[in-house]
């Protein structure tokens, strides 16, 4: 099992790893300085993403709905 991938570190951050993976990543964080450094960069990035609160422009939403062919259905509701 390769726990050193960014995907596995992100899954760990979101508590989506198995018990075995969680234990292996926790062990790596305690013993592997390089892994811990990479993990901390991802951890900060995920934290920054969780604090962003943006909404798309209404014109972008309308364009997407029009492209999907459902804009008229929503107007009638």
Query: What secondary structure does DSSP assign to 23-75, as a single string?
Result: HHHHHHHHH-HHHHHHHHHHHHHHHHHHH------HHHHHHHHHHHT-HHHHH
Average pLDDT for the chain:
86
pLDDT at 55 over 50: yes
Higher pLDDT, 13 or 69: 13
Bigger pLDDT: 72 or 61?
61
Domain-by-domain residue ranges, the chain? 6-76
Residues 49-64: what's their mean pLDDT?
Answer: 84
State pTM to two decimals.
Answer: 0.62
Query: Which residue did the predictor score with more confidence, 23 or 48?
Result: 23
Residue 14: pLDDT above 50?
A: yes
């Amino acid at each position: 099992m390769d726990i050193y991938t960014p995907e596995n570190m992100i899954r760990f951050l979101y508590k989506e790893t198995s018990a075995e993976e969680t234990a292996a990543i926790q062990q790596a964080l305690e013993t592997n300085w390089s892994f811990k450094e990479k993990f901390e960069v991802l951890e900060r990035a995920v934290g920054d993403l969780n604090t962003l609160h943006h909404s798309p422009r209404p014109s972008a939403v309308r364009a997407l709905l029009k492209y999907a062919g459902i804009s008229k259905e929503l107007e009638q509701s």
